[in-house]
């Protein structure tokens, strides 16, 4: 079996493992607006869908997921680059989000969260009244 050894890659991997032990890992994500909602897509390959947890507390959206590693008993690792443990991402939703209507779907290792904009925050036209039907505006 051919093996490729890059000492810099190995050093980076070891350094990353040391840093990873300090807390939850960050999950890469994309966030964009599509019409009347935001779409968040987070990469979580190899994650058990049952371990994914999404909470909304006030205006903070929290996504947690857990990747467990297979037992090390009787295994002689050649390389081990996939991170395991807890993955965490928090977002401040701000104003104008309908937090009661947030929905999520996990498919092919990607978590998609649909975050709708509330009706009050959507752009709207203001009717202009003319002549005597218009209410008086006092300043």
63 occurs within a structural domain: yes
Tell me the per-residue pLDDT of 105-124, one tens digit each, with 9 for 90 and over.
999 999 999 999 987 777 77
Q: Indicate which CATH number applies to the domain containing 111.
A: 2.60.40.790
Q: Does the pTM of the predicted model rise above 0.75?
A: no
3 occurs within a structural domain: no
Q: 10 Å Cβ neighbour count for 126?
A: 4
Residues in the chain: 139
Residue 35 lies in domain: 24-68+84-120
Report the pLDDT averaged over residues 64-69.
86
96 occurs within a structural domain: yes
17 occurs within a structural domain: no
For residue 131, the model assigns a pLDDT of: 72
pLDDT of 50 strictly over 70: yes
39 occurs within a structural domain: yes
Average pLDDT value for the chain: 82
Report the pLDDT averaged over residues 3-7.
62
What DSSP letter does each residue of 80-107 carry, written as one string? --S--EEEEEEEE--SSB-GGG-EEEEE
Domains contained in the chain, number? 1
Q: Which residues of 113-124 are buried (b: 16+ CB within 10 A; e: fewer)?
A: bebbbeeeeeee
- What percent of the chain lies above the pLDDT cut of 70? 76
Contact, 8 vs 16, CB < 8 A? no
What DSSP letter does each residue of 108-128 carry, written as one string? TTEEEEEEEBPGGGS--PPP-
Per-residue CA distances from 4 to 16, 62, 78, 83 (Å): 20, 39, 12, 20
- What percent of the chain lies above the pLDDT cut of 90? 37
15 occurs within a structural domain: no
Contact, 112 vs 41, CB < 8 A? yes
pLDDT of 1 strictly over 50: no
For residue 124, the model assigns a pLDDT of: 77
Report the pLDDT averaged over residues 3-8.
63
Token readout for 74 is 């009787």
Q: Is the dihedral of CA 12, 3, 83, 30 positive or negative?
A: positive
44 occurs within a structural domain: yes
For residue 134, the model assigns a pLDDT of: 62
């Amino acid at each position: 079996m051919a093996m490729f050894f890059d000492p810099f890659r190995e050093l980076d991997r070891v350094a990353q493992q040391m840093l990873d032990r300090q807390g939850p890992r960050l999950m890469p994500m994309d966030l964009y607006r599509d019409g009347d909602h935001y779409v968040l897509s987070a990469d979580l390959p190899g994650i058990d869908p049952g371990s994914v947890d999404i909470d909304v507390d006030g205006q903070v959206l929290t996504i947690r997921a857990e990747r467990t590693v297979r037992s090390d008993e009787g295994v002689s690792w050649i390389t081990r680059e996939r991170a395991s443990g807890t993955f965490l991402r928090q977002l401040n939703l701000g104003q104008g989000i309908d937090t009661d209507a947030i929905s999520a779907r996990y498919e092919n290792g990607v978590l998609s969260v649909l975050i709708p904009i509330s009706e009050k925050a959507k752009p709207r036209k203001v009717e202009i009244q003319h002549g005597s039907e218009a209410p008086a505006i006092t300043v």
